[in-house]
Amino acid sequence: MAAAGGLPHPLLILPELAQAVGLHVPNHVLFTWFTMAVLIVLSLMVSRKIQMVPGHLQNFFEMIIGGLEDFTVGNIGEAGRKVFPLLATLFLFIWFMNMQGLVPGFDAPTANVNTNAAMAIFVFLYYNYWGIRTHGFGYIKHFMGPVAALAPLMFILEIVSHLARPLSLTLRLFGNIRGEEIVLVLLFTLAPVVSTIPMYFLFGLAKTIQAFIFFILAMIYLKGSLEHAH
């Protein structure tokens, strides 16, 4: 198989299995389904064996979810608890998808623009839903600016700004993850093991940061939709 630009690409396990059974599904969809299955299984494992003295898996998720919840409530306030489950799920979902790109035989679904566009559009619809639900028709004030005389101009600018948010979320995540995947393929081709293994740690950190950036931006958009317009 080959990656974009004619670069050699390692054998991908799930697409090969899908072809063997006659299932014709895009690669990024297969790996997205796999991520969903992994998260569901892990959540069931943790929720069914919750202990006062947590084990390694429970402790891992408690550390991540607890830290993200404190961060969300600290920035949004108590209203952030209403949207935190979605934000936490979004972070874990993106992080697991990103990390798949570091596993031999797997690929990161977030290296495909369609995966990221779907999540970005969902975030756009979700924060506007909360804005309308919280403020009703008064939500339009968020698009009018603080000066009444400039409201018509500000309305146009705010609409353009909000419509650009899904594009920004999509391309930022896609560009970073896709670029890392290409670099890994090049390094593995030119100098297997020697150059690739150290880069795994660097790219693992970068993939975590990208998931966190998506989480932060979604949180900022939700914060803006929940608070009162000035």
Report in angstroms the alpha-carbon separations of 87 from 158, 188, 217.
24, 34, 10
- For the chain, the domains span 4-226
pLDDT score for 9: 47
Query: Would you write out the chain's pLDDT as a tens digit for each of its 230 residues?
Result: 444 444 444 568 888 888 888 888 899 999 999 999 999 999 888 888 777 766 778 888 889 999 999 999 999 999 899 999 999 999 999 999 999 988 878 889 999 999 999 999 999 999 999 999 988 888 888 888 777 777 788 889 989 999 999 999 999 999 989 888 787 777 777 766 655 677 778 888 999 999 999 999 999 999 999 887 66
* Entry pTM: 0.87
Encoded amino acid at 213, one letter: I
pLDDT for 4: 42
Give the pLDDT of residue 195.
57
